[in-house]
Amino acid sequence: MKVLHDVYSEDVDFDKLEVEIPIFRQLFKNSSVLCFTDVVDRLQNLTDERCLIPNVMIIIYILMVNPATSATPERSFSLARRIKTWQRATMSQRRVNSLAILNCHKDETDKIDLVSVGNDFVSKHSE
C-alpha cells in the first residue's frame, strides 16, 4: 500500500480508499474470484455499484494499463536492433517503420501471395 501511496498519491484519495475497500469486498462476497480477469468481468456487470468505489476503480484501471512483463518492449528493441544494423544505417525511417510493422504482423504477412503481388507490380510498371 505504501508503494501505491508514494506513486499514485495525486490520483487516488487514500483516506477514502480505506472506506471503499470493505465495500469492494462486500461486492465480491458471493463471487468466486481466481484472477484479475474475474474481477474486471464482475465489475463490468456492476454499473451503479461502481460509483461507490471510485478510488478502487482508479487502481484497477492503473493495473489494467500496466504491462505484466517487459517482454513486449524488449521484443521491440530487439527487432529494431535486427532491422537497423550498421549495414543498413542509411535506411530511411519510413522503411524501418514499415519493416517493423511487417514483423509485428508476421502471421498476416506470411499469408500474402508474393507471386500475385509481383505480377500486379510488373503489370502496372511495364510500359
Q: Please give the mean pLDDT across all residues of the chain.
A: 84
Tell me: do 13 and 52 sit in the same domain. Answer: yes
CA distance 24 to 76: 38
CA distance 84 to 93: 10
Greater confidence (34 vs 84) lies with 34
Q: Is the pTM of this model over 0.85?
A: no
Tell me: do 80 and 41 sit in the same domain. Answer: no
Tens-place pLDDT, residues 3-19: 878 888 888 999 999 99
Per-residue confidence at 87, pLDDT binned at 50, 70, 90?
low
Tell me: do 57 and 23 sit in the same domain. Answer: yes
Q: Please report which residue ranges of the chain form alpha helices under DSSP H.
A: 2-8, 14-27, 36-45, 54-65, 71-83, 93-104, 106-109, 114-125
Backbone dihedral region for residue 35 (phi beyond 0: left; psi -120 to 50: alpha; all else: beta): beta
Tell me: do 18 and 42 sit in the same domain. Answer: yes
* Domain boundary, last residue among 18, 49, 65: 65
Tell me: do 59 and 77 sit in the same domain. Answer: no
Question: What's the pLDDT score for residue 56?
Answer: 92
